[in-house]
Chain A
Amino acid sequence: MRPTLRFLTDELINKIVDEARSLLASLGVEIHNDSVLSMLADHGARVDMEGHHAWLTDDIIDRALKTAPASFKLYDTLGNEAVNLAGYESNFTPGSTAINILDQDGKLSRRPVADDYVRYAKLMTGMHHIASQSTAMMPTDVHEKISDSYRLYLSLMFCEKPVITGTFTIEAFEIMKDLQLAVRGTAGELAAKPLTVFSACPTSPLKWSDVTSQNLVDCANWSIPVEYISMPLSGFMAPVTLVGSLIQHTAETLSGLAISQLTKPGAPVLYGGSPAVFDLRYETTPMGDVGTMMQDCAYNEIGKYLNLPTQAYIGLSDAKLLDAQAGLETSMGATLAVLAGINNISGPGMLDFESCFSLEKLVVDNEICGMTFRMAKGIEPRDDFPSQPLFEELIAEQHLLIADHTLRHLKDEVFFPGPSIDRANRSRWKEEGGRTLFKRANSEVDRIIAEYTPARLSDDVTAELTRLMETEARRHGMDKLPEVN
């Protein structure tokens, strides 16, 4: 039995969804994009072009729900299946787009450069419990107009895993799409084998900006999957009650779904989000708040109820260092997320309200992910009945170390974490240097990067990627991209 967690009854889900639908019909949504408004009007929505407003009827929401796929897959840069976003299958991806990186001393947070990004992408190849990469931070040694596309370029060049990403502007979509076309060859191939997911954020309450609504349209047209990232901030920009915030989240997400599906029926989407219970003492948006995590799991239940694959920003921490708080918030989130069956779990590696990324934390979090996957496999009877012969063997031999039963089931039953997790007795731990978690993780970072084997994209493709990126850089007055290897 797969252990699963639920916070909401079907009855409550129904009430929340009904309430959200009636908000969309009565209050409507603000959409600051004329072509999106006209498109909605063409499909029968009442719109007010001057007021940038649309009202979405039940009929529109029903049509959107009917055409949205219940699942889809992501494929790596070589075209192999890598991530299955379906049912209760959980997959991890690193937290996205940090402003800073935690330096190798474990204390200083500083601006990342291209070199840091490359180290990250190489490290990701060795993170076996994290199925996709994300564009985890913003390199600051390129022109700011290309810093969103440049992260995608580096990811595609150095790591084969599919990429969770997003654009900062309407214009950057073009190059970010072209890079993907260069990898896949044709638009048809890209649609058949999605390589990326773009995050698109509505603005709470009930609003879509020009940029993000256009992103939805552009992604739908190219069959690039999107994840809707609605962010109710409970107690500030959303009701303080979890149910009230869930109603807001549902309404915002359904409005995004309507834009995608009316643009192109069948466009792949994730029912996602990044809500936070606003901390009214510190003026912050804690991802490690227990109510934040409960909302993530709960809207995922709503997504499943609506028959859509899901996503959440959970399994990350607001701590500034790789300390006990980082461990507790990350593992609490990751555990809940996997128990809830969230399909795309964005979190590993992230600290400080999504502001700071740490390679060492990524290594530790990879172990947390591995542990949660073991947990999700549950407790299954194997060769356990009848048990008498095995116990006879144990009594006779006085151990089961080399029993057939042990050898047969060891790998399936036991999860062995990597060396960043301390399992030595005290004397051995001392003998091996008495190292802190950070030091152990740091050695792992160095080891994995040293053992990196280059991504296997063909020379033609990498040359084309580089040509595209250099052209884009020149457009913004940058003659040369940073030297990386």
Chain B
Amino acid sequence: MDILENISQSLQNGEPDTVAELTGKALDDGVPVKELLHKGLLSGMEVVGERFKAHEIFLPDVLLAAKAMYAGMEVLKPLMVGEEAATSGTVVIGTVQGDLHDIGKNLVGIMLRGAGFNVVDLGKDVPPERFIEEAQRTGARVIGMSALLTTTMPVMGLVVNLARERGLLGKVKIIVGGAPLSDEYAQQIGADAYCFDGMNAVDCVKGFLGIN
């Protein structure tokens, strides 16, 4: 089997040690970093995502695969420059003020990290101002907000308004999620997208950042 295919397969099997070892070996054999990243690691992760959506594999399989991907990334990191190092982007996430439900938001964070994004998690009960400040501080490309209560959803609109005031709208994409949310509500408050689950969030963020 081709070594890239081998790496992808081990990643899909959730084998961090093998992925790290094979990645090192491929580098020694002269495979370019970019090719290793895209055709080995990220393409393996892509298959995992598809199989999860098709319910062939479960969440733990996805997380184990993500762990394996990171093991490969660690080997590549010192050699990644410029464009490659910046393939991923930063996403600031949090549960809005007044709301303590953070399980869904945490899961979204886990999935985004698993897909290679840099996630800044502000926790729960996050005041509107904090989302904006952190997005500006970290140069985030996406802000993700969670609300599980009909009473706290309106806070999301406040964040969108603040982003508009600060001239961030358009530059930073705003995504929202949680049981009471919907496409219509997202549109109504001027958010860029509503995501119904973690995998959907990954697809959505990739779409915004022009990945795949």
Contact = CB atoms under 8 A, between A and B. Distances in A.
Interface of A: 99, 111, 138, 140, 144-145, 147-148, 168-169, 203, 209, 211, 233, 236-237, 280-283, 353, 355
Given A209-B100, A281-B55, A283-B198, A168 B151 contact: yes
A233 B102 CA distance: 13
Contacts of A233: 103
A283 B151 contact: no
The dominant DSSP class at the A interface is loop
A209 B180 CA distance: 22
B179 interface: yes
Given A99-B179, A144-B154, A355-B179, A283 B149 contact: no
Given A211-B100, A281-B55, A283-B199, 14 more contacts: A99-B150, A99-B179, A140-B150, A147-B150, A147-B151, A148-B151, A168-B151, A203-B100, A236-B107, A237-B103, A280-B58, A280-B59, A281-B58, A281-B59
A479 B180 CA distance: 26
A111 B188 CA distance: 15
B197 interface: yes
B98 interface: yes
Contacts of B55: 281
Contacts of B103: 233, 236-237
A111 B184 CA distance: 12
A26 to B, nearest CB: 25
Contacts of A355: 179-180
Contacts of B197: 282-283
A280 B61 CA distance: 10
Nearest to B104: A283
Interface in B94-123: 98, 100, 103-104, 107
A148 B98 CA distance: 14
A394 B100 CA distance: 67
B150 A280 contact: no
Q: Lowest 3 CB-CB distances: which A-B pairs, in order?
A: A144-B151, A280-B59, A280-B58
B60 interface: yes
Contacts, number: 43
A94 to B, nearest CB: 18
A169 B97 CA distance: 12
A236 B110 CA distance: 12
B100 A145 contact: no
A353 B179 contact: yes
B151 A145 contact: yes
A169 B98 CA distance: 8
22 contacts: A111-B150, A138-B150, A138-B151, A140-B150, A144-B150, A144-B151, A145-B151, A147-B151, A168-B151, A203-B100, A211-B100, A233-B103, A236-B59, A236-B107, A280-B58, A281-B58, A282-B197, A283-B59, A283-B197, A283-B198, A353-B179, A355-B179
Nearest to B106: A237
A237 B102 CA distance: 11
B107 A283 contact: yes
B59 A99 contact: no
Contacts of A280: 58-60
A225 B107 CA distance: 34
Contacts of A236: 59, 103, 107
A179 to B, nearest CB: 18
Interface in B49-70: 52, 55, 58-60
Nearest to B102: A203
Given A99-B179, A281-B55, A281-B58, A168 B100 contact: no
Contact of B180 (A99, A237, A281, A283): A99
A431 to B, nearest CB: 42
Contact of A168 (B52, B104, B149): B149
Nearest to B107: A283
Contacts of A283: 59, 104, 107, 197-199
Contacts of B152: 144
Contacts of A99: 150, 179-180
B179, B180, B197: most-surrounded residue (chain A CB, <10 A):
B179
Contacts of A169: 98
Nearest to B99: A168
B103, B154, B180, B198: most-surrounded residue (chain A CB, <10 A):
B103
A209 B107 CA distance: 20
Interface in B124-182: 149-152, 154, 179-180
A283 B198 CA distance: 8
Nearest to B148: A99
A145 B150 CA distance: 10
A209 B100 CA distance: 8
A99, A147, A169, A283: most-surrounded residue (chain B CB, <10 A):
A283
A203 B103 CA distance: 10
A140 B198 CA distance: 27
A272 to B, nearest CB: 19
Contacts of B179: 99, 353, 355
Nearest to A143: B151
A99 B150 CA distance: 7
Nearest to A354: B179
